[in-house]
Homo-oligomer: A and B are copies of this chain.
Amino acid sequence: MNVTERASLDLGTELLEARGAPKAAARLQAGVLVEAELKGHPSHGLQRLPRLLARIERGLADPRAEGRGHWRAEALYEVDGENGLGPVVAMAALARLDERVAASGLALAAIRNSNHLGMLAYYVEQVAAAGRIGVAISSSEALVHPFGGTRAMLGTNPIAIAVPTGARPLVVDLATSVVSMGKIHHYAATGRPIPDGWARDADGLPTTDAASASHGAIAPFGEAKGYGLGIALELLVSAIAGSPPAPEVRGTLDADSVCNKGDILLVIEPSAAPGVAAGLAAYLDAVRASPAADPACPVRIPGDDASRRRARACEDGFEIDSRLWGELNALRIRAPSHLEG
């Protein structure tokens, strides 16, 4: 079925407010999920909301917490997220970096104990909209097997980078797994098999069954190099944030444990030299115009498709699984009685 940005945002906000989230926090958290839907990434969209609501109801996520931070050094802000909603804690940390970065040139937030941030692109887009370079990296529980291995030992360890240009910023957001666990869940929820090579089951054997894969391990992207990048980000997040490595991380996919993964947000002032930003925009246009391997598929810049999908979805609404929409609406009815009970 088709729903509008407004309807989904209002429903998400209402569900979160009904569970104690302040209006601004509810709006922000719902907005991050809806933004993923608008961009055509339902794996990071509203399918995550029922679990998040359950986490709030069970005291695993505190919708009122913004996290408690201090400057560990002049440009390094350390945050205990105090089980707050991921977007609330992250945006509060970005606001602090914003105060410091003009003087320091770069500033970093190291976050522990916040809930899932959702799509990392959201945060670096905010940074780029303010004219700065944004990098976001998160760890997760063990979902990815090493290159040459079979057991889930690494997080999906996504990284997002946004760089302002004279035109639209470049925004890249990728998990270091061949696919996100959110997408595997989306395949499982819609009953589709996953492609060969994406995952292994709980016994370490290759599988195309999405449900088996969700109890097994996803392959790293890009073979040895993608594995190398993933394990480097794994250690980078742990070493800076002091959060545990993947095998000890809980609470990014369940409604049973507090969430102890780590997040890194890095903001950098770009060179203000004349012509640099305009040159980057011209460069991206030159890449778009360069010869395609298949003349029917022009060369694309990361984010181009998502941006087109978003513009269309803001006009026409987006498709959502009608069972999920029904489930969300049912949670709307249940919420008050739960809080009263």
Q: Which residues of A contact B (CB under 8 A)?
A: 71-76, 78, 102-106, 108, 110, 133, 145-146, 148-151, 153-154, 159, 161, 163-165, 170, 172, 174, 204, 221-229, 231-236, 238-242, 244-247, 268-271, 273, 276-277, 279-280, 283-284, 286-287, 290-294, 297, 299-302
Q: Which residue of B lies closest to A277 (CB)?
A: B239
In the complex, are the beta carbons of A270 and B105 less than 8 A apart?
no
> Are A146 and B106 in contact, CB atoms less than 8 angstroms apart?
no
Inter-chain contact A283/B247, CB cutoff 8 Å: yes
CB pair A301 B242 closer than 8 Å: no
Query: Which of B78, B221, B234, B269 is the one whose CB lies under 8 Å from A76?
Result: B269
Closest 10 CB pairs of A and B: A222-B222, A73-B105, A76-B105, A242-B271, A163-B235, A245-B283, A161-B232, A172-B232, A239-B270, A149-B299
Given known A74-B104, A225-B226, A290-B153, contact A271–B240 (CB-CB < 8 A):
yes
Decide: A242 and B280 in contact? CB cutoff 8 A.
no
Cα of A73 to Cα of B107 in the assembled complex, Å = 11
SS class, residues of chain A in contact with chain B: mixed
16 contacting pairs across A/B (C-beta < 8 A): A73-B105, A76-B104, A76-B268, A76-B269, A105-B108, A149-B292, A159-B229, A164-B239, A170-B232, A172-B231, A174-B225, A204-B291, A226-B226, A234-B283, A235-B280, A245-B279
Q: Find the residue from A150, A268, A301 having the highest chain B CB count within 10 A.
A: A268
